[in-house]
Structure formats: C-alpha cells, structure tokens
Amino acid sequence: MSTFQRILYVEDEPDIQTVAKLALEMVGGFTVKICSSGEEALTETADFMPDLILLDVMMPGMDGPTTFNRLREQPIIAEIPIVFMTAKIQPSEIAYYKSLGAVDVIAKPFDPMTLADQIRIIWEKREQNAPIQAV
Amino acid sequence: MISIDRKTLALSAILAFLAWTGNWLNMPLFYGVDFIFGSIAAMLAAALLGPVATTVIAAVGGLYTLVLWNQPYALITFTAEALTVALLYRRGLRNLILADLVFWVFLGLPLILVFYHGIIGMEWQSTLLIALKQPLNGLFNALVAGIILLVVQTVFRSTMQSDRVRPSLFELLFHVLLCSILLAGAIPIIVESNAQRDRHEAFMLERLEQIAQRVAADIASVPGVEIKTWQNHLARAQLSPQTSLALLDHDGRVLIEQGKLAAIDKQTGQIKPLDKGLAIWLPYGKLAAMERWKRGRYLTSIALTGVADVAQVYIEQDAESLVLDFEKGRLPLFLSLALLLLSGIIVSYLLSRWLTHSLRNLEAASFGLADAIGNGLKPNLPASPIMEYDNLSTTLNEMAQRLTDSFNEQSEILAGLERQVQARTADLKQNRDQYQSLVNNIPGIVYRCKLDENWTMLYMSAIVDNISGYPASDFIDNSMRSYASIIHPDDTERVERSVYDAIASGTGWELEYRILHKDGSIRWAYEKGTAIAGIAGNIDFLDGFILDITDRKQAEAALRESEEKQRHITENIREVFWLRNADNDRLIYINPVYEKIWGRSCQSLYDDPSSFAESIFEDDKPVFFQKMNQYRHSGQFDMEYRIATPDGNIRWVHAQSFPVKDGNGQIIRHAGRAVDITESMRAESERKRVTHLLTSVLNAASEMSIIATDVAGIITTFNPGAERMLGFSSAEVIGKKTPALFHKAEEVAARGLELSQEFGRPVEGFRVFIEKPEQEGAETREWTYIRKDGRHIPVSLVVTTMRSDKGDVTGYLGIAQNITERKRAEAALKEQSLHTKAILDTIVDGIITIDRTGKIDSFNPAAERIFGYQAADIVGRNINILMPNPHRDAHDSYLHNYQSTGIAKIIGIGREIEGLRKNGELFPMELAISEVILQGQAMYVGMVRDITERKRVDRMKNEFVATVSHELRTPLTSISGALGLLNGGVLGELPKPVLEIISIAYDNSRRLADLIDDLLDMEKIAGGKIQFNMQKQDLMPLIEQTVDANRTYGIGRRVSLILTGESPKVDIYADAQRLQQVLSNLLSNAVKFSPDGGDVYINVKQINESIRITVADRGPGIPDGFRDRVFQKFAQADASDTRKKGGTGLGLAISRELIERMGGRIGFESIEGEGASFYFEMPIWKV
C-alpha cells in the first residue's frame, strides 16, 4: 500500500474551500492544495503531484467534467485518481461521472468530521480493486 | 358525289396506263407526222366509264404529248375530244366515230386553227397539215376503239347485262366497212407519201454527189498539194450558201472547208444515215419534228484516190428547201386522206343503214307478231328488195300463220275446259250449300280449325251465333276473334290441356266448358272433337262438334239446389210435435226429432205414453205435474223445463200443448210441440254472467272513468269511476248527454282541425273522438275533462269502437284515467332534467357519454370548449377521434376487451392521459370513466378535465423547487461544514454555552440539508424523473444492512432496533437503494417517535405471494383524525411535535411513491397511545 497524503481540491467557492481544507487537514491530517478553477488545476497539478484529486462539478468557466478530461490528457498526472465532490448527485449524474473514469462521488453538503474517513475508504477500495502492478 | 366501285377504279387505272403507253408508242405515219394511240384508251373510257374518268384518262395520256411536241395544245385538244365524245356517247350518240367526227368538225378544227396558227404562229400550210392530221389520227383511234368495243361486246356477250351494250348489226357493218375503206384508201396514200420523200432524197443525193465528184475531179487534175487551188475549187463548187464543202484526210479530219460545216460538230446534233451514202444531220434542242428536219442538213461524201493527204470530199446541204417541197406535196395527200375518211364514214354509214334497213323493218314488225298470233290475227311482215330478207320475211310469215292457227285451236279447247270447270264448280257449290244447310240445321256447331298457335278457324257453323252471340264469320280465319277467346278464362287451361292430351294420345276429346256470351251471360258447351291427320301423318286440322248444354246444366243446377233445400229443411227441423188421443191418451204420432232431443226412441212412447214423465228432471217434476193439472182446466200448457237424457246430460226444453176439438167443441186430441232450448238457456245464463261481471268491473273501476255511447254519441254507460271523476251522476247523463258535456270545447275543436287536415274533409263534433278508432280500432290521447264543479282534470282517454258480430258499429267506449299525478311527475322530471342539464352545461369539466360501440351520445359545453368540437358535429362519431395514437387505434379493442373480459384499463379508474383537440393540439387531461347500465345497455360516462394549466404550474413549481434546492445546497455546504468543524471540536475547545448554540445551529443545518434532499426526491417523483434500477434482490441481507446502518441513529436516544421474525429466504424485484431509503425512513420515524430507551421491532414475514416488512414502535401512535393524511406531503400530526421530533413531513409521502412505483404497497396499523406499525409489502420474485 502506497502512502496516501496529498490531496488537490478543485473548488470555486472560497467558503467551501476553507471548510474542506480544515476538515481534511485538521481532521484527516492530509496535505491539501486548493485550486479555484479548472484552469488553475491544469497548471498546478503536475507541480503538486497529489495522490488524489477532489473535483467540483459546477464551476464558472471550465466545469468539472471538462477539467477531468483535460487533466487526463497530461501523461504525468493521468493516473492520479479523481473523486467528484458535488451537489449534483442524481443517479444518472453519478453514472455519468463514473463513466468518465471517476473513482467515486462524494455528495455535498459533506460532513466535515467524516469527510477524511470517507476519502480514505474510497482510497482503500481503489487500492484493493487496482490491478496488480508488475514489478 | 361520284361513287366509284373498285372495279371501275381498276379499269380507270388500266386505261390511264394504256392511254399513256399508246401515246408513247407513237408511230411516224409520214416523216414528221406522228400517229399517237392514247385516245384509243380515252375512247374506250368514253364508252365504258363516263365523262369524268374519260377526262382524267385522256389528260394522263395527253401528258406524253408534252414530251413529244413540246406544247400543251395537243393535250388540251385531246382532253376536249375525249370529254366531248364521252358526253355525246352518254347523250345517246352511241357511235364513237360519229361522236368524234362531230367533235372535230365543230370544235377540234377551230381549236387547232386558234392554237397552232393563232398562238404558236405556225404557217398556214403547216397548220392545215396539223388540222388534217389530228382529226385523221383521232378518227382512226375512234375506229380502233369502236372495233375493240365491238369485239369485246361480241366475245364477252354472256357477261353483258343489257341490250344497250350488245353490238348491233348496223354498228358492226359500219365499222367493218369503214375499216375496209380506210385500209383500201390510206395504204396507197401512205405509200405514195413515203415514195415522195424517197424521191426527194434521191434527188438530193444525186445533186450532192455531182458536186462532190466535180470537186474530186478538179482536185485530181492538179497534181501535188495545192491548198490554195483546192480552196478555189471548193469555192467554185459551192453553188449556194446552203451548201458547204470540205476535204477530209484519212482520219476524217477537215483539211480545208468552204461554208459552214454544221454536221461535223457532233455536239450540236446527230447524224442519221439514210440510203446509199446519204445521211442527215439533225440539230439537238427542243424542236418539233418538221422544224428539226427543216433545220437539218443532208450530207454525203465520196472517196478521193490518187491525191496524197486528201481522202474524202465531204458535202452538206440545208434540208429546208427539200422539206418545203415535200410539204407542198404532202398537203394534197392529207387532203385526199381526209376526204377518203370523210367519204368513207358517209358511205359506210349509208351503206350500213341500207343493208340493215330491211332487217330493222322486219324486227319492228316482229314486235307485234306475238300479239297478233295471240289474238289469232294473220301476221303481215314487210317484203324486202333483198332476196335473203324477203325469204326470211316469207318464212316468218308462214310460221306465224301456222302458229296463229294452232293458237286459235288451243283457245277453243281451253274454252271447253273452262265451261266444264264452271259446271263442276256449280255442282260443288250446290253440294256445299246442301252440306251447309245440313250443318246449320243440326243442333250443334261443327267446326274445323288449324292446329296452330291461334287455332285459326277454317270453318264454323252459323249456329255458333246462338251460343256466343257472335256470327260465325267473326271466327272464321279468326277475323274478329278466336273461338278460344270466348271460352271462360277459368276453363281455358283445362280445355287446352284436354285437346293437346287427346292429340298426343291419338284419341278424340270430349269435354264440357263454359262460354262467355256476348250479352255477358255464361253458357255451357259440350264439345267432342278429333284431330285430322294429313297425308304426311302430321296433324293438319282439328274437327269438332259443339253443343249448347246450358239448359241441361241449368236444370241440373236447379235440381241440385232443390235437393239441397230439402236436405237443409230436413236437417234443420228442431221441433218435436206430437198428437195424442184425448180419450185414451195414446200417442198417435211423434216426429223423430224426439229421438234426437230426448235420446229415447219414439217407439218407447208409442208403447207407453206415460214413460214420458221419466225423462223430466227431478227438480222440475213438481211444477210440471202441477202445470199438467192446470192444463186440464185451462187448456193451456206452456213451460220451460229440464229433461235428463239417458247419457246423463241435462237439456232444457220449451214445450207447449193445446187441445184439438171436433165440430161440436168436443176435445178429441191433444197436440203438442217442444223445442230444445238448451243452447239459448246456456247463452242467456252466459249473458247474465257477463253482464254481471261487466257491471262489477264498471263499478269496481272507481279510478277509471268508463263511458260508453251509442253510435250518435249519446251516453249509454257511465260507471261509478266516471261519476267520481266528473261529479255527474249517471242518471244525469245516460240517454241525455254526449261526452261534449265534460270535454274542453277548444281542445275538441283543435283536434277536429288536425283531423280535417289529415283526412281532407271536415271532422268535427263527436266524430273527432271516433274518426281514428273507427279506422284503427282504438285511439289513445290526452284530453282535459271539465268536472261539474268546473275543475280541469288531465286524462288519458282510450276510445274504442264497439262492433256487432257482423262488424256494424254499435257504439263507442271511452276509458279515461286521471293523469294529474303523472303530469306532475313528468313536469318534475322535466324540471329535474333541465336542472341536470344546466349543471352539465355550466360545469367546467367536460362530460362525454358514449355507447357500447364507442359512439358519442352526448358532449357537454365544457367538452366543446376543451376539445374544440361542437356537440352537433361530434355526436354519433367514435370517441377515438379525441385521442392520439396508440390509444386511437386501440380504443375499439379496449372497449371490446372490457365488455368481453370485464378487465378495465381506464373504466372506473381515474388517470391522466393525453387528449387531442380538433386543431390537432395534444394536451394533458384527467379522465375518469364510469360505466352506467341504462335500460340494459352499457354506456360510459367520461369526465374530462383539461389539466394543461395545472401541469404547467406544476412543472414551473418543480423546476423552481429543483433550482432553489440546488442553489441552497452550496451555502448550506459551507454553513453545515463550518458548524460541523466547530461542533466537532476540531478548532479547539469552546465554552459550554457557545458549544450548545453551535450544536443547535449545526443540527438545524443538517435538517435543512435533509429537507432539501426530500424536496428534490419529491420533485423527481412528481416530475416522473425518478429512475428505478429494478433488479432481483436477496431480501434479508438488504434488510439487515439497512437496520445496521440505522442503529447508530437510535443510540443517542437509547432506542434499540430489534430484527425479529422468520427471516425467509426470498428474493424480490426492486431497486435496492430505493428500498433501503424507504426502510431507513420508516426506521428513523420509529426511532424519532419512540420514547427514550424504547425498542423498535423490525419484522419480516411472508404473506401468500408477498413479503411484508413491518417496523413497529411504542410511540404515541397515529391520532384518528390524522390517519387519512399520513401519507400526504408535509403531513404532520402536530405542528409543535414536528419541531420536537424533527423531519420534513415528506418522508412517508416519498416512501409511498417509491414503494408503489416498485409494485408494492405501504400501510400502517396504529392504536393511539400504544404505538404504530408501518409496513410495506413487495411481491416475491418467482422464476
């Protein structure tokens, strides 16, 4: 099992940025970087090299799914798991995110006290389901 | 129009071709004079085809002369010739030569002079030549044509149909003579003409050779080549400019020449060699033959020997002078030829006439010969100076004489024969008269008729007049009528059949039938007849004999009638009578009727008169004997009493008895009679019974007015019901009044007017009531009765006609019923229906009724507004017009299925469905259909509500809710997150009051988030947006998982979740997530309403084909007043409680929707104060 420490959070709403950052860093002990837009995420991700990306769906300018696809175009970061965190959680919408390649979806509003655990569970599930890497 | 048959057309075509060919085969008669033969065909046409065809044929033939002579005048002349001849021939001048002669003398010659001298400008001499040649040619052709015609007519005589085209002797002679004369005269002339030319040319040759030889001699005399000298020789030898000379070398080339050498130039003409070294050069170009000749040059050459280089002396000379000489000589030739022809014609004509004269006379005389012989006169034939004719005449005369004699003899024999025939005829007539008289005097009719369709009568005796009223002549030959026509129509078939049967079987017939006499009476005839076969065995005639047997028949009928009467009388005596002796009571006589009535023998009475008493019915005996005793004093007995017959029946008899006295007044006998009156007694008793019954009925029918009248309308019966209804007593009206007394006069008058119009005659007064019943038996109508006290009563009156057994009207019966109540009910019903209609008309929902086939019966105004159709347009059409597909096409089968299976798709169930307006617009509507059975027929009532607007508002609301809910979440995420962090102590320990406040804020932010979730769910469900991922699920793990997940929720309130029951191992078909949502909701509600430390029991149980999951709590339960609204949106039993318990009020509404959408059902059981059990059931999955 690889270490799971660095999370990049892409979210346009500053209040939610603050709450989530607090919840992940103080409750979960993660290292968190916030990007306020999809464009910013495209430039920053390669530098930060997160273990996981949390991505909002509804954003001005470049929305979540577009950002998702553009991130996947960069080979260095193409393998980083991405989890959508959104208020748009109808079954059809969730199915859509997963069809893009998202690992999972976290509903807003989230519980700040359990958010970190939730993400960790997702991470572990993913580790279990990931194909065994050739050494 | 000229009608042309195919044969004529073919002949015309052939003749036209021959005409042209004849002209093409022109023959130079003399040099420069061409004979043409086209007009032979034209002449034949003139004789055979008529003017039109002739003209065409002549014109076709004449076309060749354009080529031959280069001018159109010959064509015109020939065409005119043919036309003239054809016209003359048609007018009767049936000799082509004479007709042609007429043409040439009167028309042809002037035409030639005008054309050739006048127009072309030819010299007189040439013109005259042509003027002689053309008629010669024409007449010659006419002669040839005449001969051909004669030959044809003679050879094909059998095919000639009339005398007209048969050749006459005269014509034959004429043609033969003319031919002979012409041949005899013309040949020397033609030979002479040719000889003349030969002489001229021989002279020409001689002169040219002389000159040439002289030149040759001159040249030969000069040795060497001396061109100059030769030239001089040649110049000397040229005597005139018309002559030209030349010397030619061995190759025929000209060495020197003198004068113009026309003939050397082969380009301008051609050289024709003639006799003895002479040749003539003729120029090319369009020239007449004579002209060409005139411009031609004669030429010849002689060989020269002994002179080097010069081989020939060549010489030419103009032909003109020769031609002029020749012409000069030829004119007389032609003149003589013309004279010859003319004289030939005249001579031939006269000679032919003379030769045939005698024959014609003979012919003329012979026309009368037959008559003369027939009349027995002596024939007289003309004598002739010619021996043969005279002999012929004499022979004919003798022959005629003999014939006349023989004929006279024959006549006498004939006259004798005729006298014999007359004598025989007279005999026969006498015989026939005798036979006639015989026939007429026999009492029957004798006839003979043909066996044809009309039985044509050949003979019939005059006596037929007696039986038929028509004279025999009417029937003979069926001149006026056939005998069959007076046979009675009912007998016709029988008579015909009998006759034909008899003919077929070879026997005679004998029958009786009726005849219709002229005076209209019917007569009886007896007929006996037989068919008469002819020689060939066929039936030729029918002979018969007819006898008038009317009298016999009448006598027979009278006899039969008399016998019938007798029998009738005998059979109808119903009375018993008897006679008794007064002294010893012995019965003297009793008629046999006694036996019939009493059933006892007469003999028994004769034996023992007192045995009579035995028959009297026991009850009547006392009275009978009493009356008998009285009779002894009074001498009168008259009693009706009963008797008992031996067979046990009781009969009524009416008996009378009276004494018979002698001259002294002494009673000597008793006579009596008795009649069986059983029937009349029975009828009387029946009448009494009926009368009684009727009276009872009349009296009992107290609610019915029963009134009878006589024919005049006077009331004869007025029952108590009538008294009660009208207030009159029967005594007041019976025999005194008519129903007019209590009828409303205006009504009667109005009805009278209607009936008058209907029947076209005035109907008024009492007849108004009876007009219809008399015709139809009965009539029911509503009337108004007026009571004695003036009150009006509406009644329904039935009027019937009463008739006797014979059918005569005896009176009328009117039965009336008070219909005041009915009227009132009707009015109420009408008002009710108006009321209903008003409601239907004003109601906002569309109401449509259809019959069992789907046809629209009614369509209220709201439906009109909704669908856009007018009721009048749509009533009667199929309801499916208001539906879009697939319902439209399937609707008839929906209805049918429902009617046959009772399984409803919509009926009895309200649902939302799309409707189709008239303008094609689709709209949402709420439809509720109910079935109504009216008079045994199913009909369907559909209530339609247009919910377009509601739907729109709903949609707007849902969209609004969705948007708002979603937008609310974003800030809520921050608030809830921030409060959560504070509340969780992540940001450090907070003072206790602060923490409490933060906690409240955090809880409420969570509630708000839940509310938004529920609102969104609700909106999705309402908008039909929710999607179910239906799959087979293993039930128990799903339940256990959900219960476990919710355990934590109860922990705070020390509420335990306890799973009980059988845990059946079943699968269900559902969306796992939605099912868990429902169970979670029920669990959270149960926990919420449980007292602290209470238990919540979860039970899973199989009920039949379903599985039931129950969640039970020990909370306060559901108040009775709230039960109905438990599953409604935002429903909460107590508003204050809500705040305490939390929750959105949407949970149960959502749960019900989800469960029902997944095919299950949800419910609860509760006793207020003792807790509530909510459950849902899902069908068990089956493979």
CATH numeric code, B572-677: 3.30.450.20
Instruction: Show which of residues 107-136 on chain B sit within 8 Å of chain A, judged by CB atoms.
Output: none
Least confident span in A111-125, B356-370, B870-884, B1095-1109: B356-370
Q: Chain B residues with CB inside 8 Å of A18's CB?
A: 974, 978
Name every residue whose Cβ is closer than 8 Å to that of residue B127 and which is 6 or more positions away in sequence: B112, B113, B116, B117
Cα separation, B1109 vs B1101, whole angstroms: 7
**For chain B, what percent of residues have pLDDT higher than 70?**
94
Task: Answer yes or no: is A39 within a domain.
Answer: yes
- Chains A and B form CB pairs within 8 A to the count of 68
- A11 within some domain: yes
Query: With 50 as the cut, is the pLDDT of residue B800 above it?
Result: yes
As assigned by CATH, the class of the B6-167 domain is mainly alpha
Average pLDDT over residues A72-86: 91
CA distance linking residue B653 with residue B640, whole number of Å: 6
- Start-end ranges of CATH 1.10.1760.20 in chain B? 6-167
Amino acid (one-letter) located at B1026: I
Interface touch A112/B984, C-beta < 8 Å: yes
Three-state SS for B160?
A: coil
Q: Are B950 and B844 in contact (CB under 8 A)?
A: no
B974: contact with A, CB 8 A cutoff: yes
Angle value at C-alpha B649, between B644 and B651, nearest 5 degrees: 65
Sheet bearing B297-303, strands edge to edge: B254-258, B243-248, B312-318, B297-303, B279-283, B269-273
Is A87 within 8 Å of chain B by CB?
yes
pLDDT value for B1138: 46
Cα separation, B477 vs B475, whole angstroms: 6
Please list, in sequence order, all residues whose beta carbon lies within 8 angstroms of the beta carbon of residue B209, skipping any fewer than 6 positions away: B277, B300, B302
3-state secondary structure at position B1111:
strand
| Residue of chain B with shortest Cα separation from A20 | B977
Report if residue A100 sits inside a domain.
yes
Pick the CATH number of B442-548 from 3.30.70.1380, 3.40.50.11540, 3.30.450.20, 3.40.50.720: 3.30.450.20
- Beta-carbon contacts of residue B505 (< 8 Å; ≥ 6 apart): none
Distance linking the first and last C-alpha atoms of chain A: 14
Residue B722 clears pLDDT 70, i.e. is over it: yes
Q: Are B448 and B543 in contact (CB under 8 A)?
A: yes
- For CATH 3.30.565.10, the residue range(s) in chain B are 1027-1183
pLDDT over 80 (residue B212): yes
CA angle B820, B826, B827 (to 5 degrees): 90
Half-sphere exposure of B1126 (CA within 13 A, CB side): 19
pLDDT above 80 for B156: no
Residue tagged 């939302």 (tokens): B912
Decide if B984 and A109 are in contact by the 8 Å CB cutoff. Answer: no
B282 with B288: CB under 8 angstroms? no
CA A90 – CA B969 distance, rounded (Å): 14
Q: Do B969 and A108 touch (CB under 8 A)?
A: yes
User: Which contacts of B978-985 are long-range, i.e. CB under 8 A and separated by 24 or more positions?
Assistant: B978/A15, B978/A18, B978/A19, B978/A112, B979/B1005, B980/A19, B980/A23, B980/A111, B980/A112, B980/A113, B981/A19, B981/A22, B981/A23, B981/A26, B981/A27, B981/A112, B981/A113, B984/A27, B984/A112, B984/A113
* CA–CA gap between residue B727 and residue B165 (Å, rounded): 124
Q: What share of chain B is helix, strand, coil (3-state, %, to 5)?
A: 55, 20, 25
Token pair, residue B530, equals 């037989």
Suggest the residue from A9, A16, A96 to mutate for an interface test with chain B (most B CBs closer than 10 A). Answer: A16
Tell me which chain B residues have a C-beta less than 8 angstroms from the C-beta of A32.
none
A43 has a pLDDT exceeding 90: yes
B1020 contacts in chain A (CB < 8 Å): 90
What's the mean pLDDT in B99-127? 83
CB contact under 8 A, A22 and B986: yes
Q: At A67, which CATH number?
A: 3.40.50.2300
Between the alpha carbon of residue B991 and those of residues A23, B574, B999, the distances in Å are 21, 145, 12
The Cα–Cα gap between B309 and A47 comes to 138
Given a contact cutoff of 8 angstroms between Cβ atoms, the answer to whether A103 and A126 are in contact is yes
| CA separation for the pair B628, B639 (Å, rounded) | 10
Query: Cα dist. B1164→B331, B895, B1021, B1112, B1113 in Å?
Result: 158, 37, 22, 9, 11
For B519-523, what is the mean pLDDT?
A: 88
Is the CB of A19 less than 8 angstroms away from the CB of B1029? no
Q: Which residue of A has its CA nearest to B976?
A: A109
Q: What mean pLDDT is predicted for residues B544-570?
A: 85
Q: Any residues with CB less than 8 A from the CB of B925 and at least 6 apart, and which?
A: B866, B912, B913, B914, B915, B944, B945, B946, B947
Cβ separation B974–A26 shorter than 8 A: no
Q: What share of chain A is helix, strand, coil (3-state, %, to 5)?
A: 45, 15, 35
Residue B202, pLDDT > 90, answer: no
Calculate mean pLDDT across residues B332-360.
82
Residue B539: beta bridge partners? B533
Q: Which fold, B843-946?
A: Beta-Lactamase (3.30.450)
Mean local confidence (pLDDT), B493-502: 87
Compute the average pLDDT of residues B293-307: 79
Question: Residues spanned by CATH 3.30.450.20 within chain B?
Answer: 442-548, 572-677, 703-746+753-824, 843-946
Answer whether residue A134 is part of any domain. Answer: no
- The CA distance from B1112 to B1125, in Å, is 19
pLDDT at B1142 over 60: no
Distance from CA of B969 to the nearest CA of A (A): 7
pLDDT at A87: 83
Residue B600 has pLDDT above 70, yes or no: yes
Closest A-chain CA to B1029: A91
**Residue A26 to residue B978, Cβ atoms within 8 A:** no
Q: Which of B53-57, B429-433, B773-777, B954-958 has the least mean pLDDT? A: B954-958
Q: Which fold has domain B196-339?
A: Beta-Lactamase (3.30.450)
Predicted-complex ipTM score? 0.80
CA distances from B842 to B394, B457, B845, B846, B860 (A): 137, 93, 9, 10, 9
Q: Quote the tokens at residue A79.
A: 């393998």
d(CA A56, CA B835): 66
Cβ neighbours of B239 (radius 10 Å): 11
Which of A113-127, B133-147, B906-920 has the weakest average pLDDT? Answer: B906-920
**Rounded CA separation B756/B767 (Å):** 11
- Contact call for B973 and A108, based on CB within 8 A: yes
Is residue A47 over pLDDT 80?
yes
- Provide the pLDDT for residue B235: 80
pLDDT of residue B1110: 93
Q: Does any domain span residue A1?
A: no
Residues of B in contact with A95 (CB under 8 A): none
- Which of A91, A92, A110 lies at the smallest CB-CB distance from B977? A110
- Which sign, positive or negative, has the C-alpha torsion B354, B358, B360, B364? positive
pLDDT tens for each residue of B733-752: 998 888 988 999 899 999 99
Top mean-pLDDT range of B212-226, B761-775, B1128-1142: B761-775
Give the per-residue pLDDT at B1023. Answer: 67
Residue A92 touches chain B, beta carbons under 8 Å: yes
Sheet of B445-450: strand order equals B457-460, B445-450, B539-548, B522-533, B509-516
User: Could you say which of B969, B970, B977 has the minimum Cβ distance to residue A23?
Assistant: B977
Q: Which residues of A touch B977 (CB under 8 A)?
A: 16, 19-20, 23, 109-110, 112
β-partners of residue B817 are B704, B796
CATH number for the domain whose boundaries are B1027-1183 = 3.30.565.10
Q: In sequence order, what are the residues at sequence separation of 6 or more whose Cβ sits closer than 8 angstroms to the Cβ of residue B476?
A: B457, B458, B459, B460
Tell me, rounded to whole angstroms, the distance of Cα A132 from its chain centroid. 23
Residue scoring higher pLDDT (B695 or B190): B695
Residue range(s) defining the domain that contains residue A110? 6-129
Say how many domains are in chain A: 1
| B1010 vs A contacts (CB less than 8 Å) | none
pLDDT band at B459 (very low <50, low <70, confident <90, very high): confident
A110 CB neighbours in chain B (<8 A) are 973, 977
Q: Is the pLDDT of residue B250 over 60?
A: yes
Could you give the angle at the alpha carbon of B1174 between the alpha carbons of B1168 and B1176, nearest 5°?
155
Binary contact (B972, A109; C-beta < 8 A): yes
Residue A56: pLDDT band with limits 50, 70, 90: very high
Which pLDDT band, with edges at 50, 70 and 90, does B1 fall under? very low
Identify whether the C-beta of residue B698 lies closer than 8 Å to the C-beta of residue B720: yes
Q: Are A46 and A17 in contact (CB under 8 A)?
A: no
- Residue B144 clears pLDDT 60, i.e. is over it: yes
Long-range Cβ pairs for the range B1019-1025 (8 Å, 24+): B1019/B958, B1019/B961, B1019/B962, B1019/B965, B1020/A90, B1021/B1150, B1021/B1153, B1021/B1154, B1021/B1157, B1022/B954, B1022/B958, B1023/B955, B1023/B958, B1025/A90
Q: Does domain B703-746+753-824 sit in CATH 3.30.450.20? A: yes
Amino acid B2: pLDDT = 46
Distance from CA of B1162 to the nearest CA of A (A): 24
**Rounded Cα–Cα distance for residues B423 and B431 (Å):** 12
Pairing of strands A82-86, A52-55: parallel
What's the whole-number mean pLDDT along residues B439-458? 82
Whether the CB-CB separation of A103 and A83 falls below 8 Å is answered with yes
Per-residue pLDDT at B691 exceeds 60? yes
Distance, C-alpha B1089 to centroid of its chain: 91
In whole angstroms, give the CA distance from residue B156 to residue B138: 26
Per-residue pLDDT tens for B831-873?
988 888 888 777 778 888 888 888 888 888 888 888 888 888 8
How many CB atoms within 10 Å of residue B501? 11
Predicted confidence at residue B601, as pLDDT, reads 86
Question: What is the Cα–Cα distance from B105 to B132, expressed in whole angstroms?
Answer: 11
pLDDT of residue B353 exceeding 50, the answer is yes
- Whether the pLDDT of residue A54 is over 90: the answer is yes
Instruction: Write out chain A residues lying below 8 Å of B987, CB-based.
Output: 22, 26
Contacts of A27 in chain B (CB under 8 A): 981, 984, 986
Q: Number of helices (H) and strands (E), helices first, in chain B?
A: 35, 35
**CA distance to partner chain B, nearest, from residue A48 (Å):** 25
Distance CA B1099, CA B733 (A): 93
